[in-house]
Each structure stands twice: as C-alpha cells, then as structure tokens.
C-alpha cells in the first residue's frame, strides 16, 4: 500500500516548513504536497512544492490530482507574508479556508483534516473564567483582527465536519507560539528594548514551543495511537503560567506602564513607526491575559508537551540577546547589597540564596 | 519528653551578645533545633520548595545535629553561667515537640532551616570583627532576635523577584509574594487593629478541597482578606484560602493584579470547580454586593444567598461546606446612606456614605477599630449525595438554606457573647 498523501498549506512560513520536513520522515507518509502562494525561502526536503493560492479554485484540482487523503491547514496566521498587511491576511485566513474546505468537501479521497487555530478565539475579558476549557462559553467574542478570523475559520470547519462526517477533523488551538525562530507578533513585542505594559494589570501568559507545535501537528496528522483520539478541538499550551512582569524580568527588560486609555494611542504610534504590530487583540491579551486548560490534549489526544511555558520562554530568552537589565546582573546587585551588610547576614543570605536558587531552578 | 523545656530563641540571642565565642554555639543549638524541625514527625513546617533541594538540606541538618553534641559540651564547660548546654541538648531532643508548641516560631525556623543547618554543618565561622559585633548587637536590640535571618530571607526574596525566579499558578496566585509581602501587610491589621479572634479553624480539613462560605459585610471586602489571613496564619497545615471575587475586582487596575497574585479568582462555577478539584480551600461570599453594601441598620441580617451556585459546585466536587461567620466587619464603615448618582457615575454597585466618608476625604477611609471574631463552623458533608444531586434544585435550595441558617445563628450567638463593638 502506498503511504498517506499529506497536503500542507502555508509552507512559506518557518513553522509549516519545519513540519513539512518532519512529516515526510514518517514511515506511514508516502508523499507530501506543500502549497503556498509564495515560494518558501527554506528547504522543504523531498516534498513537492506546488505554487497555488488557496483562495483560488485551483486548490481543488491539486487535491484531486494527487488524491490527497490528509489536509493540514496551517495557512491561518495573524500577519501576512510580505506586503499586503491586515486585509491580505484576513483574505487568506477566511476566504482561503472557505475555498480549501469547499475543495475538500468535493474530494472523496480526503480522510483527515487538521486546522491550526489559536487560543485567542476565547478573547480575554475580566468577566471570563480564569482558565478556558475547550467547551467554555465565551463571554466576549473577539471583535476583530486575527482572533475574529480564527473564530470564523473554526465556524467553517465545524460546518465542514457536519457535511462530511466521514472526515476526521482536528482543530488545534495553539497558545502563543515562541521559540528561537518565532516570528509571531508577541515575539516581536518581546524584542522591544523597553516593554510597554498596561498600568495596573499583570496578565497571565502561556506559551507553546515550536518543537511542540511540530510534535502535536504530527500526532494530529498521523493515525491515532491506541487509547487516544486525535479528532476534535484541543487547546495546545505548555504547562504552567508566566506573568508578563516575570517575562520582562527574565528577559532583563524594563517595563513602562501605560494607562489603559493611552495604550491604543501608544500602540498606534508603534505601528506607524513600524516597530511592531500592536493590534487590539494583542493589547487585550497583554491586559487581561489568557490561560487555557490542557487536560484534553494530555488525556484525549495523548500528547505531552516537551517544553513547559517556563522552559519555552527560557529557550526564547536565550535566543535573544540580554536586555538592558540582565537578570544575572540584577542578582549580582542584590548580592553586593548583601555584601555591605554584617557578616551574619551574608552567611544566612548566602545559604538562603543558594537554597532559593536551587529551589527555583530545579 | 516532659523535661523538654521550651526556651524561646530571644533568650538565646540575648545571651549570645555577651561573648563572640558563644555565637557559634548558639547557632549550633539553633541548627540542632532546625534538624529537629526538619525531621519532626508532624511539624507545621512548610515542605522545602524543591524536591531536589530537600535531601541535601536534610543531610546538612543531620550533620548539624550530630556536630552540636561535642561543641555544646565544650561550650558548657567554658561558660557554666549561661546554662546553654542544657538548652542545646533539650532542643535537640525535643526539636519536634518545640516546633509543635510554637507554631509561628517553627515556621520561621523552617524558612531559615537551610541557612542554620549549613552554618552548623561547616562550623568554620570566623570570629566577627569588633565593629561587626557592635553593629550586630545594635541590630539585635533594635530588630529583635531573628533580624539577620529576616534580612537574609528578605534579600533572597528580592533576588528572586528581580530575576523573575518565582512561580505562579494558572489563576495567577503568587505564593511567594503572598507569603512574604501581602500577608505581612495585612497582619498588623489582623493582629493589632481588628484583634481578630479565630475560632474553629480545625474545621477546615488539613488536606483536600473545602468550600468556606462566609457572610459578607463592611462596605469594603475586608472580611474576605481577614478570613484569608486567619486561615493562612492559624491553620496548622498552613492552608491558603482561595477567595472568589466579584468581576468588578478584575476590572479595576492594580486591584485585579493584587487580587490575582493573592490567589483570588472570579466568582464563577468553572473557576470554583477547578480549584476544588485540585484540593484547594475556596472561600465564597454568596451574598455578594447585597451583603457588602447593605445599610448599617440591617447589620448582621444575612441577605439572599445568590442562586445557590456554590452548593451545586460543592455537590459536584463532593467537598464539605464550612460555614464561616464574621463578627465585627459590619461596623468598620457604618453605611448610613448610599449615593446612587455617584455610584452610577463611577460604575460601582453602591457609593457608601458613612459618618466620615466622603466628608473627611481620604481620612474617612480609615476603618473603625472594631473587635472581630471569625468562627469556622462544623463542616456540612456533600459527598453522601449521589452524583446527580447538583442537578436537583430542591436539594440545592435546602442545603443553601441550611448553610445560611447556620451562619445566621452563629452570628447571633457571637453577638450575644460580644462584650462591646470595640473590645
């Protein structure tokens, strides 16, 4: 029997490119068709690259021609590649998904569909529960931006699942993706030399590592392992939570609290200056934070992330240079302060610091 | 263990001030004590923060304990007047006992246990120069016995904060900050200002989930915070009360940040259920704003207990419900009026007018120093009901009423016992 034929969209992006290179090494995968409107700059290995825009009906022909049985839709992202901006991104997200799903519905060979989504479909509001599960009713739907695209994409995917009950559909809601090669808006935010924050709010953040994105996509794409089910909607995030203030300290970057009414204005200024895309949903994330429950991912999907939120952030921070206030220098400053105090404190302090450092690092 | 006389550490440090030599010895005694604390069978000490650090600490503590025997003997011969060898021996024998008899001290010891133990283990402390000794003496007198340990742990805390090396849970609860800072800020209010008397703390189980249901009063939610301090400081297992707060709390800047870090979360069934499933003690005030912002004339009259959602959640998770009655909070800001216009303008549920607020400006925000009593009642078990009990509205209403009646009766009893509002 010939192996699976996997079609991956949006391969011009780093993450999708990595997934393409990874999935073709699987023994049950026969061929990998990589699709994007722009030729990728990175190597795709043995995958066949087909230059096609998923907003065009051409995608249906590709599905039929290669008798694709697994579609991995990764062309859902917050920023457009190259020029075009927000309108372009929205077009690709929403119209692209509609076209692709329409084509899938007509293609009898398709057996499995994996869609990349985001936890921002939950929005973030002070009235929301602290931890979102996959079934939490959302109190305030995102009003625009990428989050709204994702909500719409998920709506179309649900419609598709209804019309083609024979296709196994997995929707993966990823938390903020970080890692050494991440190019998400949040990574850009963390690259700023001074981090603007919202005054009086310290949001809880969750991250998922690039390697785990690859790992979990693989689990969802291949046949389900015994005792697990890889169709349905799953929250994907690393264990644990970091506060924004904590991330800033670990990066060694000073923060500038801005009053909430002025935040939009500062965001616009930064966007005009081209520093970073400070969208409204990102401001909401950085105000109220967002934490999702990952029990379904562990128990039903059977995936255990290799990196916790903490480790993901450490890996990300290592890949970026030190900030203006590197944590080790701050720690040395405290030690020096301890040094000017009498000997008894120094001893007790040394022991305590050793104990404390050991406890936290382990 | 009847001969195990408890000698407070303050005496220890006072005796130490005499000679430089005795310092090492006092430390040894302390480390022996720390060993006892660490090894004691049922100590109130918090477990070490990391599992990897604990074996090393334990080993060091053991060394300290062993090393203290000859050292203490030698010191005793040199200085018979201080009578410390007996103490060292006693504290070594009765380390566990002592930790139990002095809960607060025991906890503090546990915090510094690693420090003390390591000092005891190497025993290579140089004799401090005379200036240092003088400074130490002054600081001892000014700040009390444990000052160097306090300063050291403060510095260690600062070090963790500036490097971001601490953990928060999914709800944003920052245990490190709560223990070290927030509770210390509330403690003077609890101990000195409101002189809170805590009764029935043993009704909160030492482990597993429990739902503490409290009456709510006082215009500002001081009662919740005081109940949190009561559980934190007085519960033998050092449990933390995770309060459920109104959504208004999470809309206000600064307030929401502090509330999350202190372990509070939004009062909704999802959050409550998740916390209870994890075996946390959750505190809820079902009266909500109706209780908090009721006029002074209606003091100690419980308002409607919401829709009984808290009972349904307790039934779902099978945790006991612990009724909690707070006396004293009603009189801290006697609300004699409510300005609806101002409330509407500010977007808050009520705008209190008290004899001092807003007439005296910020001075009007000072609460009256009433004498408080917090009584935790007998737990009402919910695990005897079948799984679908949470879906039975009659049962939920009956249980809600039972909890409400219990709290109301306890309130009346406490009010009868109370001598005066302020004493």
Residues of chain B contacting residue A289, judged by C-beta atoms under 8 Å apart: 172
**Of residues A46 and B30, which shows the higher confidence score?**
A46
Beta-carbon separation of A352 and B166 below 8 A: no
The answer for residues whose C-beta is within 8 angstroms of residue B194's C-beta and 6 or more apart is B226, B328, B332, B369, B370, B371, B372
Say yes or no to pLDDT of A336 above 70. yes
Q: How far is A164 from chain B (nearest CA, A)?
A: 33
Is A237 strand, coil or helix? Answer: coil
Residue B173, token pair as written in the block: 């609860």
Q: Which residues of A touch B136 (CB under 8 A)?
A: 342, 344
Measure CB to CB from residue B170 to each of A130, A334, A341 and give the nearest one. Answer: A130
Query: What DSSP designation does A249 have?
Result: H
Band the pLDDT of A330: cuts 50, 70, 90.
confident
Residue B46: the pLDDT is 43
Of B156, B138, B160, residue with least CA distance to B147: B138
Q: Is the pLDDT of residue B189 over 80?
A: yes
Q: At B289, list the tokens.
A: 């704003």
Q: Is the pLDDT of residue B252 over 60?
A: yes
Is omega for the bond preceding B358 within 30 degrees of 0, making it cis? yes
Cβ A11 vs Cβ A40: under 8 Å = yes
Q: What is the pLDDT of residues B105-130, one digit of tens each?
A: 444 444 444 444 344 334 334 444 56
- Confidence band (pLDDT; 50, 70, 90) for A339? confident
Higher pLDDT, A325 or A60: A60
Structure tokens at A71: 């579609």
Q: From the centroid of its chain, how far is CA B27?
A: 28
- Residues of chain B with Cβ-Cβ distance to A240 below 8 Å are 167, 170
Q: Answer whether A126 sits within 8 Å of B162, measured CB to CB.
A: no
Residue A155 has a CB neighbour count (10 Å cut-off) of: 13
* Residues A187 and A198 sit within 8 Å (Cβ to Cβ): no
Which residue do the tokens 């291949």 mark?
A222
Burial of B407 (0-12, 13-18, 19+ CB in 10 A): buried
Residue A243 pLDDT exceeds 80: yes
pLDDT at B135: 65
What pLDDT does A277 receive? Answer: 64
Helix (H) or strand (E) holding A158: helix A145-163
**Secondary structure, 3-state, chain B:** CCCCCCCCHHHHHHHHCCCCHHHHHHHHHHHHHHHHHHHCCCCCCCCCCCCCHHHHHHHHHHHHHHHHHHHHHHHHHHCCCCCHHHHHHHHHHCHHHHHHHCHHHHHHHHHHHHHHHHHHHHCCCCCCCHHHHHHHHHHHHHHCCCHHHHHHHHHHHHHHHHHCCCCECCCCCCHHHHHHHHHHHHHHHHHHHCCCEEECHHHCCCCCCEEEEECCCCCCCHHHHHHHHHHHHHCCCCCCEEEEECHHHHHCCCHHHHHHHCCCEECCHHHHHHHHHCCCEEEECCCCHHHHCCCHHHCCCCCCCCCCHHHHHHHHHCCCEEEEEEECHHHCCCCCEECHHHHHHHCCCCCEECCCCCCCHHHHHCCCCCCCEEEECCCECCCCCCHHHHHCHHHHHHHHHHHHHHHHHHHHHHHHHCCCCCC
| Cβ–Cβ below 8 Å for B49 and A359 | yes
Q: What is the mean pLDDT of residues B31-60?
A: 43
CA pair distance A14, A288, nearest whole angstrom: 29
Better pLDDT: B122 or A293: A293
pLDDT tens, residue by residue, A71-98: 999 988 877 666 567 788 888 899 999 9
Domains and CATH numbers, chain B: 9-160 (no CATH), 175-332+367-417 (3.40.1130.10)
Assembly ipTM: 0.87
Q: How far apart are CA B58 and CA B66, in angstroms?
A: 12
Contact in structure between A131 and B277 (CB atoms under 8 Å): no
Residue B198 near residue B371 (C-beta atoms within 8 A) = no
B267: closest CA among A161, A260, A130? A130
CA angle B5, B6, B10 (to 5 degrees): 135
Two tokens, residue B252: 């206000």
Q: Is B347 left (phi over 0), alpha (psi -120 to 50) or beta?
A: left
Chain A window 274-303: which residues touch B at a Cβ cutoff of 8 Å? 288-289, 291, 293
Mutate which: B30, B57, B270, B282, vs A, most A CBs within 10 A: B270
Which pLDDT does position B387 carry in this prediction? 81
- Number of CB atoms found within 10 A of residue B110's CB: 21
CA distance B227 to B284: 11
Range with lowest mean pLDDT among A292-301, B109-118, B197-206: B109-118
CA distance A66 to chain B (A): 45
Query: Would you place residue B142 in the very low, low, confident or very high pLDDT band (cuts 50, 70, 90)?
Result: low
CA B348 from centre of chain: 30
- Element spanning A298, H or E: helix A295-299
Do A200 and B254 count as a contact with CB atoms less than 8 A apart?
A: yes
Residues 6+ apart with CB under 8 A from A318: A180
Whole-prediction pTM: 0.77
State residue B93's pLDDT score: 43
User: How far A245 CA sits from the closest chain B CA (Å)?
Assistant: 8
State pLDDT tens for residues B156-172: 898 888 888 899 999 99
Tokens of A172: 């993966």
CB–CB of A199 and B256 under 8 A? no
Q: Which residue of B has its CA nearest to A137?
A: B270
pLDDT classification of A332: cutoffs 50, 70, 90: confident
Q: Among B118, B166, B266, whose Cβ lies nearest the Cβ of A360?
A: B166
What residue spans define the domains of chain A?
Answer: 327-361
Per-residue pLDDT tens over the stretch A204-215:
999 999 999 999
- The shortest CB-CB distance from B155 to any of A242, A338, A357 is to A338
- Per the CB < 8 A criterion, the answer to whether B286 and B310 are in contact is yes
- Using CB atoms, pick whichever of A241, A334, A354 lies closest to residue B170: A241
Q: Nearest CA to CA, how far is B248 from chain A (Å)?
A: 8
Q: Is A349 on the interface with B (CB under 8 A)?
A: yes
Residue B234 vs residue A342, higher pLDDT:
B234
pLDDT score of B132 = 63
B-proximal residues of A, 176-235, CB under 8 Å: 198-202, 204
Q: Which of B152, B259, B260 to mutate to test the interface with A (most CBs of A within 10 A)?
A: B152
Exposure string (b/e) for B216-241, b if CB count within 10 Å is 16 or more?
Answer: bbbbebbbbbbbbbbbbbbbeebbbb
Helix (H, G, I), strand (E, B) or coil at A170: strand
Other beta carbons less than 10 A from residue A227's beta carbon: 8
How far, in Å, are B8, B40, B87, B98 from residue B5 at the CA level?
10, 17, 8, 8
Q: Do B50 and A293 touch (CB under 8 A)?
A: no
The torsion defined by the Cα of B300, B306, B312 and B317, in degrees rounded to 10, comes to: -60
Among positive and negative, which fits the CA dihedral B235, B240, B244, B247? positive
**Contacts B167 to A, Cβ<8 Å:** 240, 310, 360
Q: Over 70: is that where the pLDDT of B340 sits?
A: yes
Instruction: Give the residue from A345, A350, A354, A362 with the most B CB atoms within 10 Å of its CB, the best one to mutate.
Output: A345
Q: How far is A345 from chain B (nearest CA, A)?
A: 5
> What residues of chain B lie within 8 A of the CB of A130, using their CB?
170-172, 265-266, 271, 274
pLDDT in tens, A10-27: 999 989 999 999 999 999
Q: Please give the pLDDT value at position B307.
A: 87
All residues of chain A having their beta carbon less than 8 Å from the beta carbon of residue B171 are 130-131, 204, 291
Give contacts of A293 with chain B, Cβ < 8 Å: 170, 274
């Amino acid at each position: 029997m010939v192996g699976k034929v996997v079609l991956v969209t949006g391969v011009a992006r780093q993450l999708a490119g990595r997934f393409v290179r990874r999935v073709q090494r699987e023994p049950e995968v026969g061929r990998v068709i990589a699709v994007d409107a722009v030729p990728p700059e990175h190597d795709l290995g043995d995958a066949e690259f087909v230059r096609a825009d998923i907003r065009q009906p051409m995608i249906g022909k590709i599905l039929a021609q290669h008798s694709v049985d697994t579609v991995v839709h990764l062309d859902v992202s917050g920023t457009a590649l190259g020029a075009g901006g927000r309108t372009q991104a929205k077009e690709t997200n929403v119209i692209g998904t509609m076209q692709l799903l329409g084509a899938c519905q007509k293609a009898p060979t398709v057996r499995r569909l994996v869609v990349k989504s985001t936890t921002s479909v939950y929005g973030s509001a002070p009235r929301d529960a602290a931890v979102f599960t996959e079934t939490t009713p959302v109190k305030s739907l995102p009003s625009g931006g990428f989050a709204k695209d994702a909500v719409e994409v998920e709506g179309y995917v649900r419609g598709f699942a209804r019309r083609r009950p024979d296709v196994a559909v997995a929707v993966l809601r990823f938390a903020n993706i970080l890692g050494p090669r991440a190019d998400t808006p949040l990574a850009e935010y963390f690259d700023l030399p001074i981090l603007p924050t919202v005054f009086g709010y310290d949001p809880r953040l969750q991250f998922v590592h690039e390697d785990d994105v690859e790992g979990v996509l693989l689990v969802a794409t291949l046949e389900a392992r015994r005792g697990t089910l890889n169709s349905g909607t799953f929250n994907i995030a690393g264990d644990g939570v970091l506060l924004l203030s904590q991330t800033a300290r670990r990066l060694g970057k000073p923060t500038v609290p801005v009053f909430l009414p002025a935040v939009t204005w500062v965001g616009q200024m930064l966007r005009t200056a081209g520093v970073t895309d400070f969208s409204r949903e990102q401001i909401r994330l950085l105000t109220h934070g967002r934490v999702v429950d990952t029990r379904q991912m562990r128990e039903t999907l059977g995936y255990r992330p290799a990196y916790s939120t903490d480790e993901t952030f450490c890996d990300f921070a290592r890949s970026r240079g030190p900030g203006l206030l590197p944590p080790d220098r701050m720690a040395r400053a405290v030690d020096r302060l301890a040094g000017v105090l009498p000997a008894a404190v120094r001893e007790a302090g040394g022991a305590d610091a050793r104990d404390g450092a050991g406890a936290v690092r382990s | 263990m009847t001969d195990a006389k408890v000698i407070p550490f303050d005496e220890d440090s006072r005796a130490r001030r005499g000679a430089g030599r005795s310092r090492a010895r006092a430390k040894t005694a302390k480390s022996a004590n720390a060993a006892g604390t660490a090894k004691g069978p049922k100590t109130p000490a918090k477990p070490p923060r990391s599992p990897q650090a604990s074996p090393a600490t334990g080993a060091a503590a053991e060394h300290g304990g062993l090393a203290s025997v000859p050292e203490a003997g030698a010191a005793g011969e040199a200085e018979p007047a201080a009578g410390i060898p007996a103490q060292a021996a006693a504290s070594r024998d009765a380390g566990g006992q002592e930790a139990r008899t002095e809960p607060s001290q025991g906890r503090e010891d546990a915090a510094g246990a690693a420090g003390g133990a390591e000092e005891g283990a190497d025993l290579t402390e140089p004799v401090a120069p005379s200036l240092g000794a003088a400074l130490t003496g002054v600081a001892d007198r000014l700040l009390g016995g444990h000052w160097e340990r306090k300063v050291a742990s403060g510095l260690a805390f600062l070090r963790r904060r500036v490097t971001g090396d601490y953990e928060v849970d999914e709800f944003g609860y920052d245990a490190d900050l709560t223990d070290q800072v927030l509770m210390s800020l509330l403690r003077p209010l609890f101990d000195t200002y409101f002189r809170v008397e805590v009764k029935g703390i043993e009704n909160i189980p030492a482990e597993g989930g429990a739902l503490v249901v409290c009456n709510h009063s006082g215009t500002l939610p001081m009662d919740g915070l005081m109940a949190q301090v009561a559980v934190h400081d007085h519960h033998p297992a050092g449990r933390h009360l995770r309060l459920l707060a109104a959504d208004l709390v999470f809309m206000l800047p600064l307030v929401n940040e502090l509330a999350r870090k202190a372990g509070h979360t939004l009062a909704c069934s999802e959050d409550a259920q998740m916390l209870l499933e994890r075996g946390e003690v959750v505190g809820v005030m079902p009266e909500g704003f109706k209780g908090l912002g009721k006029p002074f004339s209606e003091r100690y009259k419980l308002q409607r207990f919401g829709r009984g959602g808290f009972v349904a959640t307790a039934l779902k998770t099978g945790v006991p419900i612990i009724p909690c009655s707070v006396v004293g909070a009603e009189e801290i800001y006697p609300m004699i009026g409510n300005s609806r216009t101002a409330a509407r303008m500010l977007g808050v549920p009520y705008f209190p007018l008290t004899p001092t607020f807003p007439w005296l400006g910020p001075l009007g925000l000072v609460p009256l120093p009433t004498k408080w009593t917090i009584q935790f009642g007998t737990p009402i078990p919910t695990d005897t009901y079948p799984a679908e009990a949470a879906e039975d509205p009659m049962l939920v209403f009956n249980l809600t009423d039972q909890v409400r009646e219990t709290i109301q009766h306890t309130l009346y009893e406490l009010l009868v016992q109370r001598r005066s509002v302020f004493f």
